[in-house]
A and B are shown apart, each in its own frame.
Chain A
Amino acid sequence: MAADNVLLRVRNLVKYFPITQGIIFQKQVGAVHAVDDISFDVIKGETLGLVGESGCGKSTTGRAVLQLYRPTSGSVTFDGVELVNTKGEELRRMRRKMQMIFQDPYASLNPRMTIGEIVGEPLVVHKVATSKEIEQRVGSLLELVGLNPAFATRYPHEFSGGQRQRIGVARALSLQPSFIVCDEPISALDVSIQAQVVNLLEDLQKQFNLTYLFIAHDLSMVRHISNRVAVMYLGVIVELADRDELYLKPLHPYTQALLSAVPIPDPIADSKRKRTILEGDVPSPVNPPSGCRFRTRCPIAESICSEQKPAFRELSPGHFVACHYAERFL
């Protein structure tokens, strides 16, 4: 990977949330190991998909990257600038270039603000435009995401879920960022509306040369939208590869199980598939298993898996995997 192509570089990112006890004298009794030592790059203009089940730390990763959560340790460099130690005005200036689209279009818009105020607010906060310019810009942003500019005076409750998500997209675009973290932007929407929003995101990416970190639990949608895909399990990335490589030749047993669990909307193809059904549930991130985190549910786990943490290795060009026995599937 040529270094000048990398827009976002994440190295050994760790985020623990403390668990405290006591009311006045709080003492820390443990920690939720939400993200535990992950590293990845996001290349300019690409979409990196981040998939995993609920509680695997994918949203925490997205937020820690944008410094909405301050990482416990590790480094996040964006466009060559280290973000972890950046504060105040300097961080605010960086934030213009990185924006976020949230999961729940019902909760992420302030019900007491008009659409115009919501979409224009980033411009006000960052003092980049006069009020007249803002009005114009809001109109063109709404048009860009497929909404009528006249809607600027309306309130969020007057819109459907898909339209609200479009408003969220318009807000994220208002500062002309180069990087957007999409945190499950479509999982709250109906199937026919999901396709509308995904197509919109793809069109905007082409038009503005945007880079996306696309967080989702829907593997089919991630395959559709991403160039490369990272799979997370219990706070760690277990596999990262080009989209087709990952879906056709998954090397980690968890990725294999995850892929075989996705229902295919085709009864004939679905009945021909081999299913790997995982036993049990995801362990608690407060006290994750020693060694490989997946070993408690892994069909091929052996004693080494509980003793040694598997390294995140590059088995074939661009295909990283964290499993002691990944060679078996090569």
Chain B
Amino acid sequence: MPDFILDVRDLETTFKTPAGVVHAVNGISFGLKEGETLGVVGESGCGKSVTMLSLLKLIPTPPGKIAGGTASFLKQDLLKMTNEEIRFVRGAQISMVFQDPMTSLNPVLTVGLQLEEPLVLHVGMTRKQARERAAELLCTVGIPKAKDRLGDYPHQFSGGMRQRVMIAMALSCSPQILIADEPTTALDVTIQAQIMELVRRLRDEIGMAIIWITHDLGVVAGLAQRVIVMYGGFIIEEAEVKELYANPQHPYTIGLMGSLPRVDEKGHPRLVSIDGAPPVLYEKPNHCPFAPRCRYAMERCWKENPMMQMVAPDHRVACWVDIKTGRAR
């Protein structure tokens, strides 16, 4: 499709460990439209972070290795770029906000200096211009007395404020794509609500595309337009957000939703848990990665890994079973 600004095809990433080669991402494909917010949901170890780190070549190599695939962004393949080339993409055209605001800021540099760096490097501002822009940015993300705080060090900010600084930094060069890797997981709910509100506002003002990685289905519901669900290094379901929540098709997605109690819950339903634990893949599975935990698993699920199939407009799922009938699709 031509209207994707980021088009990832068959991305594969592996890690060499003493116990064997771990297949973290196993040939996943997805696209990101201009100005769209894409939610990526999955549990720890499902490959959601590794996918995004691979796109920006932030995987430590070795032990990590991007084993295959393409990722076209503005007619270029990100995965084929040299380190020199991708450095001009990172932070400038595609920027990233990480999970832990405590460890992703440099503790020995002032916040001002860290904010100015990308402006000087990517935009070519002078130090003085950059300083002014940095103050503006801090103001945009809602830090009071922004100008006076440029000389402060990260430890002088609270967790929520640090995440705001990270967002200011990521937005400083007006990127086309913002990748947010669990940016609110380390924060309290009231602070999480502040940050989500901020991102909604900035998205409307700036109009960049966002990839929002999270394990929280609630956060995605309030933010994303389209959602990808990952499991064991595969995309197992992809749909428009309302469609996914109203009509989940993959047994894993259904299980995930059933295991979540809701704050507006009525009565006391028992939680539907998924037995077992997520897999660590030492070899590329030749069966459905979810089969060992799946209630609906049939013989075919153990023989072939299902391909993504269209089940409704804008709704794809990788499952051999039609869960409505309990029979094969």
Contact = CB atoms under 8 A, between A and B. Distances in A.
Interface of A: 53-54, 160, 162-163, 190-196, 198-199, 202, 217, 219-221, 223-225, 247, 257-271, 275, 277-278, 281-282
A219 B268 CA distance: 15
B273 A196 contact: yes
A191 B263 contact: no
Nearest to B271: A195
Given A224-B271, A270-B221, A275-B197, A262 B263 contact: yes
B164 to A, nearest CB: 11
Choose among A54, A262, A263, A269 the residue with the greatest number of B CB atoms under 10 Å from its CB.
A263
B191 interface: yes
B285 interface: no
Interface stretch (B174-182, B251-259, B318-326): B251-259
Given A191-B256, A217-B188, A277-B197, A264 B277 contact: no
Choose among A198, A247, A262, A282 the residue with the greatest number of B CB atoms under 10 Å from its CB.
A262
Given A220-B265, A224-B261, A264 B221 contact: yes
Given A160-B277, A220-B260, A54 B188 contact: yes
Interface string B211-226: 0000111111110000
B43 interface: yes
Nearest to A52: B188
A265 B242 CA distance: 10
B193 interface: yes
B222 A190 contact: no
Contacts of A160: 277
User: Chain A interface mostly helix, strand, loop or mixed?
Assistant: helix
Interface band, chain B: 35 or more
B219 A281 contact: no
B192 interface: yes
Contacts of A261: 189-190, 192-193
Nearest to B241: A267
Contact of B215 (A162, A191, A196, A282): A191
B270 A199 contact: yes
Nearest to B224: A267
Contacts of A268: 242, 245-246
B271 A219 contact: no
Given A199-B273, A220-B262, A269-B264, A192 B43 contact: yes
A162 B192 CA distance: 26
27 contacts: A53-B190, A160-B277, A191-B256, A191-B259, A192-B255, A193-B277, A195-B272, A195-B274, A198-B261, A199-B271, A219-B189, A220-B263, A221-B261, A224-B261, A224-B265, A224-B271, A247-B264, A259-B263, A260-B193, A261-B192, A264-B263, A264-B264, A267-B245, A269-B264, A270-B222, A277-B190, A281-B160
B193 A265 contact: no
B158 A281 contact: yes
A265 B259 contact: no
A116 B215 CA distance: 33
